[in-house]
Amino acid sequence: MIKTSISILDCDFNNLQGEIKKINLTNANLIHIDIMDGSFVNNNTIKKFDMDTLSKYSNKKFDVHLMVDKPENHIEKYITPLTKFISIHLESKGDINKSLVKIRESNIKSGLAINPDSKISDLHKFIDLVDMVIIMSVYPGKGGQKFINKTFDRVKELREKFNNIDISVDGGVDSSNSHKLISNGASILVSGSFLMKSDNINNSIKNMLKEW
């Protein structure tokens, strides 16, 4: 089954309860939480996302995306009963193996995200510790960027090599590119403004998943 993960990076943080309750009423599978430390990327969102508050309001599982250096020092605070995935970046300064093992030992699925300018083959040595790969279709750090078309080939390359992992695509994903991403092997679609700013989120999800 193809899953959708709603990114709340651009949501109204002054009305977080209302935003989460709106998502609770949709057919989305996951809530995607973008954590940035101001080092790996310029933005810093650590104080924006309080996991206790999110857990209080949400009935969806969390898909936590750590855009941070030294991810092994951040993992602990995002372990909650609702956390399904915690993903770290291949390019981060830190111990990738240690971080992925720590996530799995917490009974949470491990993810490894890769930037558009990194080689897919650089993931291979970590794949036995990974449940999901996030292929970034924009450069990490801010929302609303234009989808990078070479992502289609990167998804296909990874899927042809590994059939037993989830492949998530994050950045600029909407109904104009979702069908080709799924055809090429994506199993999780992360979408932010396309869904959050939609008048009818369920209809927009349906358009993204049409034919699947």
Whether 170 is a known active-site residue: answer: yes
Catalytic residue among 34, 37, 63, 131: 34
Residue 40's closest CA among 74, 63, 13, 5?
Answer: 74
Which of 95, 153, 170, 174 is labelled catalytic?
170
Backbone dihedral region for residue 104 (phi beyond 0: left; psi -120 to 50: alpha; all else: beta)? alpha
Q: Are strands 188-191 and 3-7 parallel, antiparallel or unpaired?
A: parallel
Which one, of 204, 206, 205, 209, lies nearest residue 187 by Cα?
209
Is residue 34 annotated as a catalytic residue, yes or no? yes
Catalytic residues: 34, 170
